[in-house]
Amino acid sequence: MALVCVETLFSPVEAEIARTRLEAAGIDALLFDAGIASLIGPGVSGIRLMVLAEDEASARRLLADPA
């Protein structure tokens, strides 16, 4: 099970919203580096949104849709 990064976000709130959107669509997602980003501050350290490789295309499509 390989994980891939589908997006890097610089706001913890935006990262959590994106993760929740994926989860609501049935795509398991994890946030990497959220802890260090919250310590350093928003906009400095990116938070990686990770999904399974087989879910990458679906996740990217969903995240590209602004709805």
pLDDT tens-digit series, residues 28-56? 999 998 766 555 555 567 899 999 999 99
Per-residue pLDDT at 38: 57
Q: Which of 59, 60, 56, 58 is nearest to 1 (CA)?
A: 56
> Position of tokens 């709805």?
67
Contact assessment for residue 9 and residue 46, using Cβ atoms and an 8 Å cutoff: yes
Helix (H) or strand (E) holding 30: strand 29-32
Separation between Cα atoms, residue 60 and residue 42, nearest integer Å? 23
Full set of structural domains in the chain with CATH: 3-64 (3.30.70)
More reliable by pLDDT, 65 or 56: 56
